[in-house]
Amino acid sequence: MTTQSEPTSICCPEFDPVPWNDKILEWEKKHFIKDKVFTLFFMPVNFGKVMRRIDGKIRKAGAEIPDWLCLSDHTSKWNMDIYCAVDREIAGAENVTLSGKFYSRVYEGPFKDTGNWCKDFEGAAKSKGFNIKKWFMWYTTCPKCAKKYGKNYVAILSQVD
């Protein structure tokens, strides 16, 4: 008797860290839609549900997600704001724009290293003379796709002056 396994599906595109690692980005009214994720001591609880809701709004509008960019702002132990890049305003969503200079740096590894990544990021930004105004985490793939690709890339982006 032979068994056939189903191929592992991939929902996230493979991330290329080169265009995002140690880069300065200049944004002028870059479009995003914003939503909220409930977190329990910073761990997302309803992330999948929120992402499906965001995806539904984007698909309904026929819009695109440039670079598959989706930023997370951990505002407290209980909340994370999600900013999903879009190519236009989306009806029925909280539309926001981000403008300014942003510093980006990419890390790879398990999420338990996040504290070390943040310390490294702060040091790198300071060494370049940047003052961090606001920062975001970009979890570039879901855990299943990170496992499939063999890499768990996380980019930290901060608005700087």
How high is the pLDDT of residue 8? 52
8 Å CB contact between 80 and 36: yes
pLDDT at residue 66 tops 80: yes
How high is the pLDDT of residue 91? 95
Query: What does the domain layout of the chain look like in residue ranges?
Result: 23-160
Going from the C-alpha of 16 to that of each of 73, 143, 149, 160, the distances in angstroms are 22, 16, 11, 23
Cα 121–136–14 angle (5° rounding)? Answer: 90
How high is the pLDDT of residue 6? 45
**Nearest-angstrom CA–CA distance, 147 and 134:** 30
CA 112 to chain centre: 17
pTM of the entire structure? 0.90
User: Strands, DSSP E only, in the chain?
Assistant: 23-40, 43-44, 70-74, 79-85, 94-108, 132-139, 153-160
Instruction: Write out pLDDT tens, residues 69-98.
Output: 999 999 999 999 999 999 999 999 999 999
Q: Looking at domain 23-160, what is its CATH homologous superfamily?
A: Regulatory factor, effector binding domain (3.20.80.10)
How high is the pLDDT of residue 117? 98
